[in-house]
Amino acid sequence: MSRDERVLHLVRYLRQVMDHLDLPEAFIAEVDRLLAQGPEAAPALEELLARHPLTKAWMRKALWPKAIRYRPLPGEPASPPARGYCCPVAGCPAPPYIPFQAGEPIPPCPLHRAPLEPCAAPNR
């Protein structure tokens, strides 16, 4: 996955909970406008999210985690069942995070900043 694809994937996930965060309406409207432009807007989205402390901190953790990266074993790959990652805080409105590909680092909850935990993935 390219960096631009990863940024778009993360911003689409974060956008689902932006209404619950203390963000200006104009900021959210600009995110929506850039998301509508597609992959070519990924650098602008990353720059925009770096301007606000809440989104900057979340994107930094999501893009550059300190976790050890997954490296598949050689041979024929097996498709694991889909797995989602949920916030451990009861009643959190954030949807489960579904990784785009195997080995992708899992971001923290955008609302509580708690590490997401494995949970049943919703049907896609």
Residue pLDDT, tens place only, 34-89: 999 989 999 999 999 999 988 888 888 887 665 555 666 777 766 656 678 999 99
Task: Give tens-digit pLDDT for 10-42.
Answer: 999 999 989 888 899 999 999 999 999 989 999
Tokens 């489960």 sit on residue: 96
* Predicted TM-score of the model (pTM): 0.58
Distance CA 92, CA 9 (A): 20
Phi first, then psi, for residue 4 (nearest 5°) are -60, -40
Write the Ramachandran bin of 101: left for phi over 0, alpha for psi from -120 to 50, otherwise beta.
beta
